[in-house]
Structure 1
Amino acid sequence: MAPNLNLNDDNSLFNYVVKEGNGVKGLVDLGLTEVPGRYVQPPHLRMNKQEVASSLENVTIDVSELDGPNHEQVVKAIVHASETLGFFQVINHGVPLEVLDSLIVTAHQFFDQPVEKKAVYLKEVSPSRLVKYGTSFAPENEKALEWKDVLSMIYTNDADARDSWPNDCKEVVLEFIKTSSEMVQKLLQALIGNLGVKLDDSRLHELSGSDIVNMNFYPACPNPDLTVGVGRHSDIGMLTVLLQDGIGGLYVKKGDQNASPGNEVWVEIPPIKGALVINVGDSLQILSNGRYKSAEHTVRTTDVESRVSVPRFISPLPTAKIGPFPELVARDGVARYKEVIYGEYWKSYFEKSLNGKKSLDFASI
């Protein structure tokens, strides 16, 4: 046991895990045989195996066909998935397999480092606002912590990234951004075009100009049924592009988003080698006046081996105004959301612990 660490004392545990930067990885490396109480989730927030649907319709889309004779069918598939589940997977997306494999290896290498190498990026001491290392989602505001450590890198331009991101991560993450950007633009154009909305380049940039890549690390957990890797939430941006490793554990709420606990149906988004997971964020749900759905999702822990994932979050600029597109309000006869400043929406989101799709209340009428 580490000196000055009492697993049964919340303050001692919080200092060790959060303030000193040891994270969940540091706890696991102590040889834990059971989860500390601070990580035990309330029963209604755990993933009940009975709630998990056994099958999911195949929502794997070959996005290279957007450039061919099957363009309309591919757009229909993207739109259908975005209107129903809010999640789909893409193949032939332009990111080389060796880049995807390297991202997984690099994520493991970063979190396997001694704590002093990672703790230099804790938000209180990080040399740059563009990079932050930490644990859980909002540990200061959470009653039960998530079983997750995270490295977050804000992308502004290549030069800033090379100056500030961790040396071992920056080149492969830059390559991920470079090789996935064309696909992201095509998806946004397909989804916005399907709404009958035309945007000029400056407005499209305003709605998708923020770019963050995270590396998430979920250590193997001695009591996976008591914990969560990520709490139930929807993302708040436009689109998320996610690389999973082969272990699995990402679950999406299906059907009635307001179903009461016990009546929910969850489906796993299965890992597919070489595929990327795409999910709709709150901003796109708001702009589409509710047509596209930002699905509630969560991550389970496992006792088998440590898992990593690498999401890229495409979001509006902080100063951007987001509200239903006027063309849709005219057509629908009603605005289902009010116009908000994205930066204020972001601030509201990160001031609280994750809580399903409650984040949308900020923009609800």
Structure 2
Amino acid sequence: MAPQHDAYFYDRKTELKALDDTKSGVKGLADSGITKIPGIFRRRDHALDKPVSSSSCDQSKISIPLIDMGGIEKDESQRSKVVDQVRRACEEWGFFQVVNHGIEETVLLRMIDGVRGFHELDSEAKKGWYSRDSSRKVYYNTNFDLYSGIVTNWRDTLIFVTAPCGPDPDELPPVCREIILEYSDKVLALGSTLFKLISEALGLNPNHLEDMGCAEGLVSFGHYYPPCPEPELAIGTSNHTDSSFFTVLLQDQLGGLQVLHQDRYWVDVTPIPGALVINLGDLLQASL
């Protein structure tokens, strides 16, 4: 069995490098007109982390918490209510959706269009941003863990670091430069508000988490999932926990997003126009 095992990993590594060397990502494969997905993308379910699921979960009666943040800066009773909702959401879920969060829906839609616009550029026009150098402030690639992941996801990602020290605007792709800068400013402001609410939910000074430096950085990941010729054999995003303090997920990208609740069953996240999904992440727990 050992020779077969070694041969499998050798072949896989060769395919991975061949894909990486094109600097065109998964979108390049899709554009080439392939009718069969390469072996590196084929699901190997025995290698995936599969938590216990429950067929008895009634999706119509359970969902991640939805929190209306409207009025929290002016109405103390509303703020107290939201703090309590945040506390319960953090304790019971680790995920929640927010509305009236201060980021206009037009900004969210322009951000989605900007990321999509970049990924749908001609391959040659994108190659200058293709990199695996994580010290860069703006780059794109396919699968950050391409060479170490158990399964290769059918997706490409545009990564941009905009705080605490952002890139020179000229480093950003022109197709989404303006909206990235606007969106990042608004997400930083929302992050500050969320960290204050979480601090209050913990019974701490509202500035506690910010004073620890939790709100200083911002890195964004603009995922893109090209059409797949064999979607039943591939996977867009593997089961995972998130290592960021909190992740803002755009609703347009939520097809198939699920949250593992109480280590028992997966709960579908129902998209709500203009809402954002907040994922607390592993590091917040570690920091506390």
Shorter-chain TM-score: which interval?
0.7 to 0.9
Shift of 1:216: 0.4
What are the equivalent positions in structure 2 for 1:229-308 lying under 5 Å apart?
229-245=236-252, 248-256=255-263, 264-288=264-288
Residue of structure 2 equivalent to 1:65: 71
Residue 124 of structure 2 aligns to which amino acid in structure 1? Answer: E
Structure 2 counterpart SS, 1:196? coil
What are the equivalent positions in structure 2 for 1:30-179 lying under 5 Å apart?
30-44=32-46, 45=48, 53=57, 54-55=59-60, 56-57=62-63, 59-67=65-73, 68=75, 69-123=77-131, 129-156=136-163, 160-179=167-186
Residue of structure 1 equivalent to 2:4: none
Q: Kindly provide the CA deviation profile for residues 31-65 of structure 1, in whole angstroms up to 9, marking residues without a partner as x.
A: 233322211122243889x7674243362211123
The alignment covers a number of residue pairs equal to 273
Structure 1 counterpart SS, 2:204? coil
Looking at structure 2, the residues matched to 57 and 271 of structure 1 have their Cα atoms a distance apart, in angstroms, of 11
Shift of 1:85: 1.4
Identity %, equivalent residues: 32
Q: Which runs of 5+ in 1 are unaligned?
A: 1-8, 257-263, 289-365
> What is the Cα-based RMSD across aligned positions, in Å?
2.9
**TM-score for both structures, normalised by structure 2:** 0.84
Looking at structure 2, the residues matched to 80 and 230 of structure 1 have their Cα atoms a distance apart, in angstroms, of 27
Question: 1:254 touches 1:266 (CA, 8 Å); kept in 2?
Answer: yes
* Of 13, 19, 22, the match for 2:21: 19
Looking at structure 1, the residues matched to 119 and 235 of structure 2 have their Cα atoms a distance apart, in angstroms, of 19
Q: Kindly provide the CA deviation profile for residues 53-101 of structure 1, in whole angstroms up to 9, marking residues without a partner as x.
A: 4243362211123222311111111111111111111111111111111
Shift of 1:125: 7.7
Structure 1 counterpart SS, 2:286? helix
Shift of 1:197: 2.8
**TM-score for both structures, normalised by structure 1:** 0.67
Q: Which runs of 5+ in 2 are unaligned?
A: 1-10
Looking at structure 2, the residues matched to 190 and 124 of structure 1 have their Cα atoms a distance apart, in angstroms, of 36
What are the equivalent positions in structure 2 for 1:1-16 lying under 5 Å apart?
10=12, 13-16=15-18
Asked which structure has the greater RCO (Cα within 8 Å, sep 6+), the reply is 2
Looking at structure 2, the residues matched to 99 and 185 of structure 1 have their Cα atoms a distance apart, in angstroms, of 18
Q: Kindly provide the CA deviation profile for residues 96-117 of structure 1, in whole angstroms up to 9, marking residues without a partner as x.
A: 1111111111111111111122
Residue of structure 2 equivalent to 1:351: none
Q: Kindly provide the CA deviation profile for residues 314-356 of structure 1, in whole angstroms up to 9, marking residues without a partner as x.
A: xxxxxxxxxxxxxxxxxxxxxxxxxxxxxxxxxxxxxxxxxxx
Q: Kindly provide the CA deviation profile for residues 157-195 of structure 1, in whole angstroms up to 9, marking residues without a partner as x.
A: 687341322122221011112223332212111112222
Structure 2 counterpart SS, 1:167? coil
